Amino acid sequence: MFWFTHRHLPPVDDSRRPVTLLEYSPLDSYHSPAVAVVGRSGLKGHRRGVGSVPCETCREPELVYPAVHNRRAMTVVAFDFDGTLSDSEMTVLLGERCSVADEMAAITERAMNDEIGYAESLRERAALLEGLPESDATAAYEQVELRPGAADLIETLNEAGITTAILTGGFERGVAAALEREGVAVDHIVSNRLPLADGELTGEVNGSLIEGTKDDALESLADDVGAELEDTVAIGDGANDLPMLEVAGLAIGFEPKPAVEPHCDVVVSSMAEAREVLESNAVLE
């Protein structure tokens, strides 16, 4: 069961509601390539996700993001958080508070490159935080920031009537703090939590995205809002994003790890580029 947090932040804990999971079959047909599209098989000599056409008035080529899918209107956009909407790494920020940041970063890197299982990596990182005072954890969460352009993109999607979601193995308090600071919100959040006991982190981690995967979370979200999986856009960077990238109607890699890039329809390196891809695919006007 996945717990969705809706657009009422903060508090996060008071606004979750359960969503029943349904079984699904992967929809492979909508990942068909198109002419001049830099898709999952790549295009040698070009920056992935970007086509290049001559521009008579400038020295540099003009970057063009071709439409990858144009048969259906896409109504749901699901973002990863750490490494995508945010360039902060929550576990590292927490680790800095108890002098284990280097160990945290090393475990995270191995997980994002699919060298160890995500659930195993998350539990290892949480265990390193055992005994961290709540005040230090709060201070770390308050350091989490959205990357440039992320808040504007979320707001634009919300105004356009697109269902926005964050599906993250990160921690809800850090996500909520970053959104609140920018004065934006999303419709749904699926995340994990670091429990407290006697004013300290216990070293454990709870949540639906430890053993659960983001494809199931995305399917549950789509079902919750009455959309098909092919009507969804997934944006992520790491190995734990692979499941949702593989089932979404449009898979956008945000500076993806090497193991992830081949599974992306389009690759971007900024929120401005992500917006262009969404515009070229008629998600935004």
Section 189-193 average pLDDT:
96
Give tens-digit pLDDT for 24-79: 233 333 333 322 233 343 332 233 344 434 444 444 434 444 555 555 689 999 99
Where is 246: in which H helix or E strand? helix 242-247
The answer to whether the CB of 215 falls within 8 A of the CB of 23 is no
> Domain residues of the chain, as ranges?
2-89+145-280
**Which residues are the active-site residues?**
80, 82
Q: Please tell me the predicted confidence (pLDDT) of residue 109.
A: 85
Task: Give the residue among 254, 268, 267 at the shortest CA–CA distance from 41.
Answer: 267
* CATH 3.40.50.1220 corresponds to the domain 2-89+145-280: no
Question: What's the whole-model pTM score?
Answer: 0.77
Cis amide linkage into residue 10, ω under 30° from 0: yes
The CA angle 210-184-273, to the nearest 5 degrees, is 80
Q: Confidence band (pLDDT; 50, 70, 90) for 22?
A: very low
Q: What is the DSSP string of 82-127?
A: BTTTBS--HHHHHHHTTT-HHHHHHHHHHHHTTSS-HHHHHHHHHH
